[in-house]
Chain A
Amino acid sequence: MHCELSPIRVFPRERDRHNRTVIETALVELIDRTTAECVGQQRPDLHHRMRQIRNRVLDPAQLVLVVGEPKQGKSELVNSVVNAAVCSAGEETTTAVPTIVRYSEEPSAQLVQQEPSPDPAALDRLPVPIERVHNELDQAVSHGRPVTRTEISLPRAILKNGLVLMDTPGVGSVSASLTATTQAVVAEADALLMVSDATQELTTNEISFLRQATALCPNVALVQPKTDIVPQWRQVVELNRKHLSNAGISAKIFPVSAKIRVRATSAKDPDLNTESGFPPLLDYLRNELAGKHEEFTRKLVSHNITDVVDQLMTALREELSNQNPRTATETLLELESAQRRAEDLKRAVGRWQKTLSEGIQELYSDIEHDFRERSWTIQHQVGEIFDEADPNTTWEEFAEWLSTSLSESIADTFGWLDERRERLTEQVCDELLREHIRTLPNVERIQAPDPLDRVPEPTPPKNANYPRKDQILTGLRGSYAGVLMFGLITSMAGLPLMNVVSISAGLLLGTKSLNEEKDSRLKRRQAEARAAVHRYVDHVTFQVNKEGRDTIRNLHQQLYDHCNRVTEQAQAQVSRTIQDIKREAERSAVDRDERAREIKRKLEELTVLRKRAAMLASNRIAAA
Chain B
Amino acid sequence: MTASTSTAEAPAGLLQQARALLIRTMTFYRDDPRTASWLRERLERIEAPLRIAVTGRVKSGKSTLINALVGAELAPTDAEERTQVNTVYQYGPEPRITAYTPHGAAQNVPVTTLDPGTIRDLQRWRPDEISRLVIDSPSPGLQAITLIETPGVSSSAVKETGRSALAQILSEADAMLYLTRHPHQTDIQFLQSAHELEVARRAPINTILAFSRADEVGSGGSDAMPSADRVAELYRNEPRVRSFAQYVLPVIGLLGQAAATLDADDFDALAALARLSSAEFENLLLSADRFVNSTTPETVSTTTRQDLLQRFGRFGVEHAVTLITRGAGDLKKLRSALLADSRLNDLQESLHQQFVERQEALRARSVLMAVEMVLRANPRSGGRQLRGEFERLLANAHEWDELRLLSALRSGQVRLPPHEREAAERLLGAFGNQRHIRLGRRPDAPESELSNRASDALLQWRTLAMDPMRDHVHREAARTVLRSCERLIADTSVRDTAG
Chain A residues engaging chain B, CB cutoff 8 angstroms: 69-71, 73, 76, 89-92, 172-174, 176, 179, 197, 199-205, 207, 226-233, 235-236, 239, 243, 257-260, 263, 272, 275
Contact = CB atoms under 8 A, between A and B. Distances in A.
A231 to B, nearest CB: 4
A231 B286 CA distance: 12
Interface in B211-225: 213, 216-220, 224
Contact of B230 (A89, A92, A227): A92
B79 A201 contact: yes
A260 B182 CA distance: 24
Contacts of A200: 58-59, 79, 81
A369 B58 CA distance: 100
B219 A201 contact: no
Interface stretch (B263-271, B305-313, B319-327, B407-415): B305-313
Nearest to B58: A203
Nearest to A203: B154
B183 A174 contact: yes
Given A69-B184, A70-B182, A174-B238, A227 B156 contact: no
A92 B80 contact: no
A259 B213 contact: no
B36 interface: no
Nearest to A176: B185
Top 5 closest A-B pairs, CB basis? A91-B227, A228-B287, A91-B218, A200-B59, A231-B288
B371 to A, nearest CB: 36
Nearest to B282: A263
B287 A205 contact: no
B240 A239 contact: no
Nearest to A247: B156
Given A227-B288, A229-B315, 8 more contacts: A91-B227, A91-B230, A91-B231, A173-B185, A174-B241, A201-B81, A204-B154, A230-B288
Contact of A229 (B79, B227, B288): B288
Interface of A is mostly: loop
B289 interface: yes
Contacts of A172: 184-186
Contacts of B154: 203-205
Contact of A199 (B80, B185, B216, B228): B216
Contacts of A76: 219
A194 to B, nearest CB: 14
Nearest to A263: B286
A173 B287 contact: no
B287 A70 contact: no
Interface string B325-348: 000000000000000000000000
A204 B155 CA distance: 6
15 contacts: A71-B217, A76-B219, A92-B230, A172-B186, A174-B184, A201-B79, A227-B288, A228-B220, A229-B220, A230-B79, A231-B292, A231-B309, A231-B314, A235-B79, A239-B80
A415 B461 CA distance: 88
B59 to A, nearest CB: 4
A392 to B, nearest CB: 96
Interface string B370-403: 0000000000000000000000000000000000
Contact of B79 (A179, A227, A232, A260): A232
Contacts of B230: 91-92
A233 B314 CA distance: 13
Contact of B219 (A69, A203, A226, A230): A226
Listed residue (B155, B220, B227) with the most chain A CB atoms within 10 angstroms of its CB: B220
B181 interface: yes
Listed residue (B80, B183, B231, B235) with the most chain A CB atoms within 10 angstroms of its CB: B80
Nearest to A179: B185
B234 interface: yes
Contacts of A173: 184-185
B188 interface: yes
B233 to A, nearest CB: 9
Contacts of B216: 197, 199, 226, 229
A430 B290 CA distance: 100
A91 B156 contact: no
A90 B227 contact: yes
A231 B310 contact: yes
Nearest to A200: B59
Contact of B287 (A69, A71, A201, A259): A259
Contacts of B315: 229
A263 to B, nearest CB: 6
Taking residues whose C-beta sits less than 8 angstroms from the other chain, chain B's interface range is: 35 or more
B471 to A, nearest CB: 29
Given A204-B154, A205-B154, A174 B240 contact: yes
B286 A259 contact: yes
A61 to B, nearest CB: 30
Contacts of B291: 231
A232 B79 CA distance: 7
Contacts of B79: 200-201, 230, 232, 235-236, 239
B240 A203 contact: no
A90 B156 contact: no
Given A71-B218, A201-B79, A257-B287, A229 B313 contact: yes
Contacts of A90: 218, 227
A174 B238 CA distance: 9
A71 B182 contact: yes
Given A92-B231, A239-B80, A275 B287 contact: yes
B184 A260 contact: no
Given A91-B230, A260-B286, A275-B287, A201 B186 contact: no
B57 interface: yes
Nearest to B285: A228
Listed residue (A89, A172, A173, A233) with the most chain B CB atoms within 10 angstroms of its CB: A172
A535 B13 CA distance: 111
Contact of A204 (B156, B188, B220): B156
Given A174-B183, A201-B79, A226-B216, A260 B231 contact: no
B307 to A, nearest CB: 11
Contacts of B314: 228-231
A90 B228 CA distance: 11
Contacts of A174: 183-185, 188, 235, 238, 240-241
B143 to A, nearest CB: 32
B355 to A, nearest CB: 25
Given A91-B231, A233-B288, A203 B306 contact: no
Contacts of B313: 229-230
A204 B81 CA distance: 12
A83 B277 CA distance: 29
A492 to B, nearest CB: 127
B209 to A, nearest CB: 12
B287 A203 contact: no
A197 B306 CA distance: 21
Interface in B459-476: none
Nearest to A240: B156
A227 B287 contact: yes
A249 B416 CA distance: 52
Contacts of B155: 203-204
Contacts of A201: 58-59, 79-81, 156
A78 B289 CA distance: 24
Interface string B184-219: 111010000000000000000000000001001111
B156 A243 contact: yes
Contacts of B228: 91
Contacts of A202: 156
B219 A235 contact: no
Listed residue (A201, A233, A239, A275) with the most chain B CB atoms within 10 angstroms of its CB: A201
A210 B217 CA distance: 23
Contacts of B183: 174
A232 B182 CA distance: 21
Contacts of A204: 154-156
A231 B289 contact: yes
A413 to B, nearest CB: 70
A38 B220 CA distance: 51
Contacts of A230: 79, 288, 313-314
